[in-house]
Amino acid sequence: MLERLLQKNFQFVLVDPEGDYENFEDASGIGSSQHPITADGAVQHLKTSEKCLVVNLLGTALAERPEFLGTFLPRVKSLRDGLGRPHCIAIDEAHHMLPRGEEHILQVSAYDMTGMILIIVHPDELSTRAFV
């Protein structure tokens, strides 16, 4: 699906909590296990580039990843409201990034966002707000 977005010249940002997309061609990658990325750093990259972006969160502690997303999504929404991009936001392992019991992340930050792709293995562990 992401490759098709690229073919159609859509910009996406992919939040990659496990480093599965480190070598995704045609997209810039930021963050690594040795170099944690901040929400501000990721948004700054989106402001200055029309290239797709993979945000690798291996350098962010597992328990802090939902908080990262809660900070990142409102900033991406603001950027999208002003620039019209990124066109799509993909969240890999969404059940870890938006876990059940953390409904406030989507309620506060991304409740009104469209164009999101949630990649999940265990949908029963996903926040119920992700289905609204």
Q: Which domains does the chain possess?
A: 2-131 (3.40.50.300)
Beta carbons within 8 Å of 8's beta carbon, 6+ residues apart = none
Closest CA to 66 of 109, 116, 12: 109
Instruction: Quote the pLDDT of residue 68.
Output: 92
- pLDDT by 10s per residue, the chain, length 132: 888 998 999 999 999 999 999 888 889 999 999 999 999 999 999 999 889 999 999 999 988 998 898 889 889 988 988 998 999 999 999 888 887 776 556 554 544 667 888 888 888 877 766 655
Instruction: Quote the pLDDT of residue 51.
Output: 92
Q: Find tokens 């019209």 and name the residue.
A: 84
Instruction: Quote the pLDDT of residue 108.
Output: 47
pTM over 0.75: yes
Cβ 52 vs Cβ 30: under 8 Å: no
Instruction: Quote the pLDDT of residue 104.
Output: 56
